[in-house]
Amino acid sequence: MLNGKGLLVLGLTVAGGMGAYRIVQSCIGSIYDSVHYNDAQPDFGAPPSRTVITVWGEQPSRPVPDSVGWYDDWDEAKEKAKTERIANLKSAIDTAFSNGNYSKAEESLVALLKEKPEDLDNIDLLRDQLEVAREAQKHKLPQSAIDAYLASRKDAENPSSLRAIAADAKNGFLCAFAAYAAAGVAYDHGEYEKAARQYEEVATKYPTSPRREYALIMAARTRLKGTEKGGVIALEPEDLAAGTQAIGKLRREFPKSKFLQSAYGWETRAMYLSGKRATAFLRYLKSYDNAKSHVEREGQLASLRYVSESFKGKDADDVRKGLFADPSLLQPYLEFRVNHGGEDSAKSLTGLAKLAEDVLTRHPTAKIAGSIQARLAEIAYLRSDYKKAEEWATKALTESGNRNADLALYVQSGAQEKLGKSDAAEQGYGKLLRDFPKSYLVGAARENLALIYERKGQWDNALDQYRALSYRFDIATLVDVKMSIEELQKYVASRPSDPELNKYKFALAMRLLRKDKLEEADKVFREIPDAKRKEIGEVGSDYSWYGAEDSVRDRLVDPVDTIKDLKELNAAVAKASTSDAKAKAKYALASYWYERRNLLLYNPSLWMGGRSILAGFWNAGVTNAGYDKAIEEHHYEHECLWRARKICLEIAKDMPKSPEAPKALYRAACAARRLADFNPYWRNEKMSKSLWNECVTLMDKVTADYPSSDLAKDAEKYGKVFRSERDDTLRNALFLK
Partner 1 sequence: MRWISLSLLLLMVGGCHRVGPAKGALELSYWYWHTPYTLNRSEAATLRDLGVKRLFVRGGTFRNDGEKLIPDIPQRFEGPPEGFPVYLVYNFDAGAIAHLTRFKPADMAKAILDRFELDKLACESKRIEVQGIQLDIDSPTSRLPLYAELLKEVRARLGAGLSLSITALPTWFDSKELAQVVEQVDDYVPQFYEGSAARTVEDKTPLSDLDAVKKGMVAAERLGKPYFVGVPGYGRALLYDEKGKLLGAYGGLSAYDAARHPTFELKERRRVDGEDYYRFQATQGDAHGKGAGYSLVYRLPTPQLIVNHLREVEKLRGANCRGSIVFRIPEEGESTAVALPAVLAAMKGKDMQPKLSISSKTVASPWGRIEDPKAKSEPLKVTLTLKNEGNGGTEIGPNACRILLTIERGSVDALEKGGFDLVQPFRELADGSTAKSSLASANQIVFQRVHLAAGEKTTIGPLTLSPGTKLNCSYDLIAEASGDHVRGSQRIDLNVER
Q: Does 337 bind partner 1 (CB under 8 A)?
A: yes
The span from the CA of 70 to the CA of 103, in Å, is 42
- For partner 1, which residue of 311, 403, 557, 625 counts as binding (CB under 8 A)? 311
- For partner 1, which residue of 79, 155, 343, 435 counts as binding (CB under 8 A)? 343
CA distances from 17 to 20, 21, 363, 675 (A): 5, 7, 64, 10
Nearer to partner 1, 355 or 419 (CB): 355
Q: Does 684 bind partner 1 (CB under 8 A)?
A: no
Q: Spell out where 56-139 has E strands.
A: none
Q: What share of the chain is helix, strand, coil (3-state, %, to 5)?
A: 70, 0, 30
Per the CB < 8 A criterion, the answer to whether 40 and 30 are in contact is yes
- For partner 1, which residue of 154, 229, 434, 731 counts as binding (CB under 8 A)? 731
Q: Does 323 bind partner 1 (CB under 8 A)?
A: yes
Nearer to partner 1, 178 or 323 (CB): 323
Q: Does 317 bind partner 1 (CB under 8 A)?
A: yes
| Nearest distance from C-beta of residue 735 to partner 1, angstroms | 5
The span from the CA of 275 to the CA of 315, in Å, is 10
Q: Does 717 bind partner 1 (CB under 8 A)?
A: yes
| Nearest distance from C-beta of residue 306 to partner 1, angstroms | 7
Q: Does 264 bind partner 1 (CB under 8 A)?
A: no
Nearer to partner 1, 643 or 673 (CB): 673
Q: Does 733 bind partner 1 (CB under 8 A)?
A: yes
The span from the CA of 712 to the CA of 724, in Å, is 18
Q: Does 599 bind partner 1 (CB under 8 A)?
A: no
Per the CB < 8 A criterion, the answer to whether 631 and 644 are in contact is no
Q: Does 315 bind partner 1 (CB under 8 A)?
A: yes
Region near partner 1 per CB under 8 A, out of 59-67, 68-76, 347-355, 675-683: 347-355
| Nearest distance from C-beta of residue 271 to partner 1, angstroms | 14
Binding track, positions 133-162, relative to partner 1; x by CB under 8 A: ------------------------------
The span from the CA of 456 to the CA of 462, in Å, is 10
Per the CB < 8 A criterion, the answer to whether 28 and 9 are in contact is yes
Q: Does 732 bind partner 1 (CB under 8 A)?
A: yes
Region near partner 1 per CB under 8 A, out of 33-41, 66-74, 341-349, 391-399: 341-349
Q: Of residues 547-566, which lie at the interface with partner 1 (CB under 8 A)?
A: 551
Region near partner 1 per CB under 8 A, out of 159-167, 174-182, 632-640, 720-728: 720-728
Q: Does 728 bind partner 1 (CB under 8 A)?
A: yes
Q: Does 355 bind partner 1 (CB under 8 A)?
A: yes
Region near partner 1 per CB under 8 A, out of 127-135, 340-348, 530-538, 625-633: 340-348
| Nearest distance from C-beta of residue 176 to partner 1, angstroms | 39
Q: Which residues lie across from 229 on neighbouring strands? A: 232
Q: Could you say which DSSP state residue 11 is in?
A: T
Q: Of residues 611-670, which lie at the interface with partner 1 (CB under 8 A)?
A: 670
| Nearest distance from C-beta of residue 734 to partner 1, angstroms | 5
- For partner 1, which residue of 116, 138, 292, 312 counts as binding (CB under 8 A)? 312
Q: Does 77 bind partner 1 (CB under 8 A)?
A: no
Q: Which residues lie across from 227 on neighbouring strands? A: 234
Q: Does 190 bind partner 1 (CB under 8 A)?
A: no
Binding track, positions 380-409, relative to partner 1; x by CB under 8 A: ------------------------------
- For partner 1, which residue of 320, 431, 490, 646 counts as binding (CB under 8 A)? 320
CA distances from 546 to 455, 554, 640, 649 (A): 42, 11, 20, 31
Region near partner 1 per CB under 8 A, out of 346-354, 395-403, 418-426, 452-460: 346-354
Region near partner 1 per CB under 8 A, out of 440-448, 510-518, 525-533, 719-727: 719-727
Nearer to partner 1, 188 or 309 (CB): 309
**CA-based diameter of the chain, in Å?**
112
The span from the CA of 475 to the CA of 493, in Å, is 18
CA distances from 387 to 344, 383, 411 (A): 20, 11, 11
Per the CB < 8 A criterion, the answer to whether 380 and 388 are in contact is yes
Nearer to partner 1, 74 or 735 (CB): 735
How many Cα atoms occupy the beta-carbon half-sphere of 41 within 13 Å? 2
Region near partner 1 per CB under 8 A, out of 28-36, 263-271, 302-310, 438-446: 302-310
Q: Could you say which DSSP state residue 482 is in?
A: I
CB-based contacts of 474, cutoff 8 Å, min separation 6: 34, 35, 36, 37, 450, 466
Number of neighbours of residue 668 by Cβ within 10 angstroms: 28
Number of neighbours of residue 379 by Cβ within 10 angstroms: 24
Number of neighbours of residue 123 by Cβ within 10 angstroms: 14
| Nearest distance from C-beta of residue 569 to partner 1, angstroms | 22
| Backbone CA torsion sign across 553, 559, 564, 569 | positive
Nearer to partner 1, 181 or 702 (CB): 702
Q: Are strands 232-234 and 227-229 parallel, antiparallel or unpaired?
A: antiparallel
CA distances from 235 to 242, 276, 311, 357 (A): 11, 12, 18, 39
| Nearest distance from C-beta of residue 732 to partner 1, angstroms | 5
- For partner 1, which residue of 1, 2, 110, 721 counts as binding (CB under 8 A)? 721
- For partner 1, which residue of 232, 493, 531, 620 counts as binding (CB under 8 A)? 232
Count of residues that interact with partner 1, criterion CB under 8 A: 42
Region near partner 1 per CB under 8 A, out of 311-319, 467-475, 513-521, 579-587: 311-319
Phi-psi region of 14 (alpha: psi -120 to 50; beta: other; left: phi over 0): beta
Listed residue (267, 276, 170) closest to 216, CA to CA: 267
Report how far Cα 265 is from the mean position of its chain's Cα atoms: 31
Region near partner 1 per CB under 8 A, out of 166-174, 316-324, 404-412, 524-532: 316-324
Q: Does 352 bind partner 1 (CB under 8 A)?
A: yes
The span from the CA of 372 to the CA of 356, in Å, is 7
- For partner 1, which residue of 57, 190, 231, 496 counts as binding (CB under 8 A)? 231
| Nearest distance from C-beta of residue 232 to partner 1, angstroms | 6
Per the CB < 8 A criterion, the answer to whether 273 and 235 are in contact is yes
Nearer to partner 1, 342 or 540 (CB): 342
Region near partner 1 per CB under 8 A, out of 121-129, 292-300, 521-529, 728-736: 728-736
Per the CB < 8 A criterion, the answer to whether 291 and 297 are in contact is yes
Phi-psi region of 73 (alpha: psi -120 to 50; beta: other; left: phi over 0): beta
- For partner 1, which residue of 45, 341, 680, 719 counts as binding (CB under 8 A)? 341
Number of neighbours of residue 651 by Cβ within 10 angstroms: 25
Residue 626 CB burial class (10 angstroms; 0-12, 13-18, ≥19): exposed
- For partner 1, which residue of 308, 339, 371, 502 counts as binding (CB under 8 A)? 308
Binding site for partner 1 (CB under 8 A): 19, 22, 231-232, 306, 308-312, 315-317, 319-320, 323, 337, 341-343, 348, 351-352, 354-355, 545-546, 551, 670, 685, 717, 721, 724, 727-728, 731-737
